[in-house]
Amino acid sequence: MGQRDAPCLTCRQKARKCDRARPMCRRCIRMGLQCEGYPDKFRFCGIASRGKWKNQDLPISKDSASTPTTDSTATEPNASTQGLAFHSWGPPSQNKVSSSVASPEGNIKNTPGSQEHSKILVSKEAETFLVHYDRIICPHQIAQPNDKKENPYRLYVIPLAYEQLNVLYAVLGLSACHMGHLNSDRHLYESVAVDYRAKAINALGTTINKVCSGNFEGSDVDSVFATIQILLLHDICETGISTHGAHISGAMSICSQLKLDQNLTVDQERTVFFLGNLLWLDIIRAFAAPERLCFTHELRSKILSLCNLRFESVNGCPREIVLIIATILECAKEYSAGRLEHPEFHDTIHGSIRKLYLWDSSRCFFPDNDVLWGSVSNAFRHACILRAWRLLDPSEPASEPKIRDSVFEILDSVANIPSTSPLLELMVLPLFMAGADNLSAHSRHYVILRLEQIKARSEMGNTAPQSLLEKVWNARAEQQKHDTSNIPWMSFTFNSDSSHHDDYLII
């Protein structure tokens, strides 16, 4: 058997038949495994000597080292590697090949997708952005003590990007936006990123049509959910206000057509992962306006029952609390639409608040043994309590003991989490909720300091939380001396031009 026909490393190690597809074995993809590539045909291009990948094993082609979009790559002197686009999707300390793109003179005709897809995959610009997504963005999308190989964004999104054009465009757009903001390169985030995002939306529309017509392949459905999430992450990276919040409604529509509330199973781990994150983003969006809540109770319950602990690692909020706050927001949605009488609305909210007060974190399973998960869960619990009280009476003074106590609980919980812990990156929403009901100047200053720490640590902060808080605080400063009524932060999310609340993703 010649080199060209050699099986991938994963199939070889497992002693099974390999379909030898490039850039990754489709058999590995179907089984949810990381294809470790075809190492006989590739070369390592050395170690990055500067920038964010300094001293890390970062294989890069000679061409990509000269790309004007980044200064974080190293040049390989061996000219035989020129034109080779190669990526190692494992953590920086590992040299295993898990996903790669062959050189143009290799087997590129077998690359999944169209000619356009294949052409993009071997471009030096795509290489730079894909490596940036892998090495810089992925580790901050999940609260893990180390950049583990089983990072679900690396495990699920990157193989989909090699398979589906809409996912590839979305990843390239997010990376261009993120890299542009990091390097203060306006061309990247105002032109390149926007162009890729527009292409991602167009390609997403094509895939959605395939799914809705029933003429879809195995990964098409997952690619839709993945693309929607990446587009939302792009919005979070850019402004924190989603211009694609409507895509959440689109995801819900697809779920309804496929009857996923009945047909989804635990074996569909990748689908469950993306849907779990989307339902949480749906809840975050509904914090400002409950009428925007989209996922049904049945689908939400089904997804959360199938989720594993990666849900908490990505989103922070324990699933039991997610179900309670979803019930609260759903109740508020029905009440605002006139489908629920006030007594029932009042009793349901009060009953849910009691559940939140009685919730015991010691009976909850967390992603690992870090004792700080108790502080994370307590912060989210009281953030939800604050939102529930404000649904009952948005004008109640922030000085009320029940409001003040939850603010203190959140601040004390966040104070337990050091800036070195990845769990701190989960604390944006609780800090925002505490800040919105905070009357103390030094506590407000503390909230801003911690939000700045999160932004510096994750390198994916936006101005939306701080901007909203400053509007609330400035409005309180202009109140009459004896006016203690609350200034609801939700009133500042209303867009008079569109006559509805903007989709704020405070996360």
Among the residue ranges 15-24, 25-34, 140-149, 440-449, the one predicted with the least confidence is 25-34
Distance CA 172, CA 192 (A): 9
Q: What is the pLDDT of residue 147?
A: 67
Q: 168 near 117, Cβ under 8 Å?
A: yes
pTM, two decimal places: 0.78
pLDDT of residue 370 exceeding 50, the answer is yes
Q: What is the pLDDT of residues 329-344, one digit of tens each?
A: 999 999 999 999 999 9
Q: 252 near 259, Cβ under 8 Å?
A: no
Half-sphere exposure of 488 (CA within 13 A, CB side): 18
Q: Are strands 500-501 and 494-495 parallel, antiparallel or unpaired?
A: antiparallel
Q: What is the pLDDT of residue 290?
A: 95
pLDDT band at 69 (very low <50, low <70, confident <90, very high): very low
Structure tokens at 457: 């640590």
Q: Which of 156, 95, 82 is nearest to 122 (CA)?
A: 82
Q: What is the pLDDT of residue 1?
A: 39
Distance CA 100, CA 85 (A): 7
pLDDT of residue 205 exceeding 60, the answer is yes
Rg of the chain in Å (alpha carbons): 24
193: left (phi over 0), alpha (psi -120 to 50) or beta: alpha
Residue 176 CB neighbour total at 10 angstroms: 29
Distance CA 251, CA 248 (A): 5
Its CATH class, for the domain covering 1-41, is few secondary structures
pLDDT of residue 247 exceeding 90, the answer is no
pLDDT of residue 91 exceeding 80, the answer is no
DSSP 3-state assignment of 373?
A: helix
Q: What is the pLDDT of residues 179-203, one digit of tens each?
A: 999 899 999 999 999 999 999 999 9
What are the helix (H) ranges across 82-219? 115-121, 124-132, 152, 158-163, 165-182, 186-187, 193-213
Which amino acid belongs to residue 85? A
Q: Which residue has the tokens 């089904």?
A: 302
Q: Where are the domains of the chain?
A: 1-41
Looking at every residue in the chain, the average pLDDT score rounds to 82
Among the residue ranges 79-88, 163-172, 339-348, 485-494, the one predicted with the least confidence is 79-88
Q: How far is CA 411 from CA 334, 396, 425, 438, in A?
A: 32, 20, 15, 10
Q: What is the pLDDT of residue 43?
A: 33
Distance CA 265, CA 305 (A): 10
pLDDT of residue 172 exceeding 70, the answer is yes
**What is the four-CA torsion angle of 326, 315, 424, 32, rounded to 10 degrees?**
170
